Chains A and B, each alone.
Chain A
Amino acid sequence: MQLTAMKTRFVLALAPGWSERAHLSFVCLVLSVFLLFPPAVRAQGGDQEELERELSRALAVEAPPPRASLLPDISVVGTFAAAWFSGEPTPRLAAHEPFHHGPQLQEIELGFRSNVDPFVRADVFLAVSLEGIEVEEAYVTTLAFPADLRLRGGEMYAPFGRVNQVHYLEATPFADLPLVNRRFFGGEQLRGLGLEVSYLLPLPFYAEIVGAALSAGNEVSFGIPATEIETPRDLLGVARLATAFDLGDRLTLLLGASYANGPNASGGLEGARAHRTQIWGADFTLRLRDAASRAHTALQAEWMTRRAEVPGGGFLQGGAYVWLVRRFDARWEAAIRGDILGLPSGRAFGDPHLGEEEVFLFAEAIHAHEHDHAHAETGEFLRPLRQRRLGASLSFYPSEFQRLRLQANYDFLPGEGRGIWEAFFQYQFVIGSHGAHAF
């Protein structure tokens, strides 16, 4: 009581203009602060922890949920690489693969994901590189379309094979693309603007059938730019059948078959609609999860073959990769990969001299008109080639949100002579919301 009286006098002296009521409430406030804090300061060990727990529990109840806004889930994935080549690297498109000596920014990916309303969900991925910003993917997916159908519309990776459907910088165990994916789909992979319909087949096991029609702006195998599209035949059609089986509790087998058909616009502006490219693909994934562990082993293989018509004939080219990944635990992962362009080995049909000349693509034609360049890089990717490559990588994850990767490739260059070595160091970080992993 004496203490309270003293305090009151002290406060009265400090703030003579205050009303009695204001003084009283101020005193109560000061006292309650004293009552609350000195024990916390004095208490040692168990008492303090007990009180801290009590406080954090009390505060937890009242704390507003941190994500009480309508912002979408936002993430940023930064991928950087440093590369070294023992000789002239095999042709690649300057997109996101390491393609020159020294450090390079592979991609800064900005991801935005959210439900739009009860009917659809939107996923937007913007890729920022030194060349600028581009829409990597931006699509909506139906959540509740009837009859086991799912619709997807917008800019998206074509539902072809395995690697083409994922953001390979995040989801594959290597810093670069498989040879066949690069050769057939280019550095940006096979993607376009359009609509996809998929159907879960009413079977006792998982089987899905997918069809898509996309604007075929691909820089390698297909290509009538969106602005030049006149008929549905100018679009790229893609179909896929995928199925999966559990072989026991821990082993899963995935099988898929894909097909793409679209105009390739070889022969420049005039011949744009006369020539088509068809690609057939088959994929196989076998994944074994260790008991009670993050560890798993996965064997994945894809084979594709492409038949491209060009003025005077065409080219037939096959290619495949197979990789084996071992995730040892939460932190370490190792992988090996074999690549081949062949199966069937590239050959030309029609005009016997076809393989000797530069193939002129639509995109290049525009390029040549605008910039007066004789030829661009892309045409070369349509020509047949035999090539083999071996690679190995080792990845370290300090946490779920960072990855360091070392990779070495030996590239048996086409033709005779010795191959070259390629070495990559790659670093990746993820901030923001944690997206779901692809299987």
Chain B
Amino acid sequence: MRPLVLFLSAFLVAPFSARAEVRVATTLPALGALAREVVGANGTVTVLAPPDQDPHFVDGKPTLILALNRAQLLVHAGGDLEAGWLPTLLSGARNGDIQPGRPGNLDVSTLTGPLLEVPEKVDRALGDVHPRGNPHVWLDPRRARKIALGIAERLASLDAERAAAYRDNARRFVERLDEKIAAWEERMRPHRGRGFVPYHKSLTYLADWLGLAEVATVEPVPGIAPSPSHLARLILEVRKREPRPVVVAERWHNQRIARTVAEKAGVPLVVIPGDVGSTRENGDYISFMEDLLRRLAAGFEAAEPAKGSAPQPTDGQAQ
């Protein structure tokens, strides 16, 4: 009898002891990295999307339902970025706390100020446009700062007992990040106003921060594969540009097309290896941004060496 009582009471106690640590789920690795800074040792952060996959086209595997079922807070990019895979998982999660509109559902596009590139006309003739604006906000560290603080506030309201810990963690992270932002801005200052050709409109916020100019995109419109005639126009346009721009592609985009455009236009290709955690060097948000900016700066240097710096070999690649 006694073992049975113990066994049954274990079931009663288990939910409470499990609640002792906070459980956060995030859709994208970058958001997971920011959440991890805030949560620290107070809980666990589970990331749904793998770091090497396009955030629009993540597999909504049923196995991801478990993490959502147990999460107390879901952090997602919003702006319909995850519309192709998150709703099914959210419905399967049977977790009322993280449904849209609940305190446990944090849409980071509400934290970072107005989204850029809100289409004046929502028409798919313009590609797979996001009606609420461009949702790729996390590559701007000033916006990432707001996201980290927003996560801390949300966690503080959900878990009042450890509110101070979340706010402390966020403050410490933001202090580190602010120093880095100043250093990054200093490092990228020579490249201000430089042109770049992203594959997809996913670097808009990075450009907004660093004052880079998007010359054109490899895709003619979002989500549409480029035709040869579009590529020809693009290459001719890029060739004309002074100083020479760089082509930037994330790893999940068509590398053959990106490489061809860069080679034919005679400019370097900068490959972004994916999201946070896609390589051994970019395991947290700061090291990820460090890596990204190093690649970008190397690309700009290779395209057009800044005065006073040694010329670098231009083999069309800046890895």
A: which residues have CB within 8 A of B? 46, 49, 56-57, 59-61, 63, 65-67, 115, 118, 121, 141, 143-146, 148-150, 200, 205-206, 208, 242, 244-246, 249-250, 252, 254, 287, 289, 291-294, 296, 329-331, 398-401, 431, 433-439
Known: A49-B213, A252-B61, A294-B252. A331 touches B225 (CB 8 A): yes
Contacts of A398 in B (CB 8 A): 224
Measured between beta carbons, the chain B residues less than 8 angstroms from A244 are 61-63
Contacts of A57 in B (CB 8 A): 116
Contacts of B88 in A (CB 8 A): 436-439
> Do B52 and A292 touch across chains, with their CB atoms under 8 A apart?
yes
A residues within 8 A CB of B94? 145, 148-150, 200
Contact between B116 and A242, CB atoms less than 8 A apart = no
Residue of B nearest to A244 (CB): B62
Residues from chain A with Cβ under 8 Å of B213 in the complex: 46, 49
Given B60, B120, B133, which contacts A439 in the complex, CB threshold below 8 Å?
A: B60
A330-B59 contact in complex given A118-B99, A292-B251, A434-B84, C-beta closer than 8 Å: no
> Which residues of A lie under 8 Å from residue B114 when comparing CB positions?
60-61
Query: Would you call B86 an interface residue if the criterion is a C-beta within 8 Å of the partner chain's C-beta atoms?
Result: yes
> How many Å lie between the Cα of A398 and that of B124 in the bound state?
13
- Residues of chain A within 8 A of B97, CB atoms compared: 144
Query: How many Å from the CB of A329 to the closest CB on chain B?
Result: 7
Is the Cβ of A143 less than 8 Å from the Cβ of B99? yes
CB-CB under 8 A from A67, the residues of chain B are 131-132
Within the complex, what minimum Cβ distance (angstroms) separates A437 from chain B? 6
Q: Is A205 touching B85 in the complex (CB atoms < 8 A)?
A: no
CB–CB A289/B59 < 8 A = yes
Whether the pair B85, A437 counts as a contact (CB closer than 8 A) is yes
**B111-141 interface (Cβ within 8 A of A):** 114-120, 122, 124, 127-128, 131-133
With contacts A49-B213, A148-B94, A149-B94 known, is A401 near B63, CB below 8 A?
no
Interface centre among B52, B85, B94, B124 (most CB of A within 10 A): B94
Which of B83, B117, B132, B274 touches A56 (beta carbons < 8 Å)? Answer: B117
Q: How many A-B residue pairs have CB under 8 A?
A: 126
Q: How far is A435 from B127 in the complex, measured between Cα atoms in Å?
A: 16
Q: List 26 A-B contacts (CB under 8 A).
A: A57-B116, A60-B118, A60-B133, A63-B118, A63-B120, A65-B118, A141-B91, A143-B96, A148-B69, A200-B65, A205-B63, A206-B62, A244-B61, A244-B63, A289-B59, A291-B52, A292-B252, A294-B252, A331-B225, A399-B127, A399-B223, A434-B80, A436-B83, A436-B85, A436-B86, A439-B60
The answer to whether A60 and B100 have CB atoms under 8 Å apart is: no
The 8 Å CB contact of B84, one of A208, A252, A291, A437, is: A437
A438 to B85, CA, bound (A): 8
Measured CA separation A209–B249 after assembly (Å):
43
B185 within 8 A of A: no
Which of B63, B83, B120 lies in contact with A434, CB distance below 8 A?
B83
B100-118: CB near A (< 8 Å → 1, else 0) gives 1110000000000011111
Q: How far is the CB of B288 from chain A (nearest CB, A)?
A: 16
Give the CA-CA distance A67 to B131 in the complex, in Å.
8
Q: Is the CB of A439 within 8 A of B91?
A: no
Alpha-carbon distance between A209 and B32 when the two chains are bound, in angstroms: 30
Closest to B60 in A: A439
Contact present for A292 and B60 (CB under 8 Å): no
Give the residues in chain B near A61, CB-CB below 8 Å.
114
Inter-chain CA distance A141–B116, complex, in Å, is 34
Known: A150-B94, A400-B128. 7 other contacts (CB 8 A): A56-B120, A59-B120, A145-B94, A205-B66, A294-B252, A437-B85, A439-B59
The 6 closest A-B pairs by CB, nearest first: A144-B96, A292-B52, A244-B62, A60-B118, A292-B251, A436-B88
Q: How far is the CA of A316 from the CA of B274 in the complex (A)?
A: 53
Chain B residues with Cβ below 8 Å from A148 are: 69, 94
Asked if B87 CB lies within 8 Å of chain A CBs, one says yes
Contact (Cβ within 8 A) B59 A66: no
B54 is an interface residue with CB less than 8 A from chain A = yes
* Chain A residues in 8 Å Cβ range of B128: 399-401, 434
Which residue of A is nearest B251, CB measured?
A292
A56 surroundings in chain B (CB, below 8 A): 117, 120
Contact pick for A246, options B57, B61, B84, B131, CB 8 Å = B61
Contact B54 A294 (CB under 8 A): yes
Nearest B residue to A143 by beta-carbon distance? Answer: B99
Residues in B with CB closer than 8 Å to A245 are 63
Contacts of A205 in B (CB 8 A): 63, 66
Interface presence of B260 (CB below 8 A): no
CB of B254 closer than 8 Å to a CB of A:
yes
Cβ contacts under 8 Å, B122 to chain A: 66
Complex: A71 Cα to B60 Cα, angstroms? 26
From known contacts A49-B213, A399-B128, infer whether A200 and B69 are also in contact, taking CB-CB under 8 Å: yes
Are A289 and B53 in touch, CB under 8 angstroms? Answer: yes
Cβ A436 vs Cβ B100 within 8 A: no
Interface residue from A60, A206, A434 paired with B66 (Cβ < 8 Å): A206
Given A206-B66, A330-B225, A66 and B60 contact (CB-CB distance below 8 Å): no
B50: interface (CB < 8 Å): yes
Instruction: Give B97's nearest chain A residue, CB to CB.
Output: A144
* Chain A residues in 8 Å Cβ range of B102: 118
Closest to B64 in A: A206
Task: Looking at the assembled complex, report how far the CB atom of B289 sits from the nearest CB atom of chain A, in whole angstroms.
Answer: 20
Please name all residues of chain B whose beta carbon is closer than 8 Å to the beta carbon of A433 when the two chains form the complex: 83
Query: Given A66-B132, A143-B99, A438-B88, A60 and B117 touching (CB < 8 A)?
Result: yes
**Which of A245, A329, A431, A439: most chain B CB closer than 10 A?**
A439
| Chain B residue at smallest Cβ distance from A432 | B124
Determine the chain B residues whose CB is within 8 A of the CB of A401 once the complex forms: 124, 128
Question: Which residues does chain A contribute within 8 Å of B83, judged by CB atoms?
Answer: 433-434, 436
* Residue from B63, B124, B225 within 8 A of A252 (CB atoms): B63
Bound Cα distance from A149 to B63, whole angstroms: 17
Assess the B63–A121 pair: CB atoms within 8 A: no
User: Which residues of chain A are near B92, meaning CB under 8 Å?
Assistant: 150, 200, 208
The residue on B at minimum CB distance from A57 is B116
- Residues of B near A435 (CB, < 8 A) are 87
Q: Which of B65, B86, B115 touches A60 (beta carbons < 8 Å)?
A: B115
Q: How far is the CB of A396 from chain B (nearest CB, A)?
A: 11
Q: Output the least CB separation between B185 and chain A (Å).
A: 20
Who on chain A is nearest to B250 by CB?
Answer: A292
Contacts of A437 in B (CB 8 A): 60, 84-85, 88
Shortest beta-carbon distance from A333 to chain B in Å: 14
CB distance from B72 to the nearest CB of A (A): 14
Chain B, residues 190-224, CB within 8 Å of chain A (1/0): the string is 00000000000000000000000100000000011
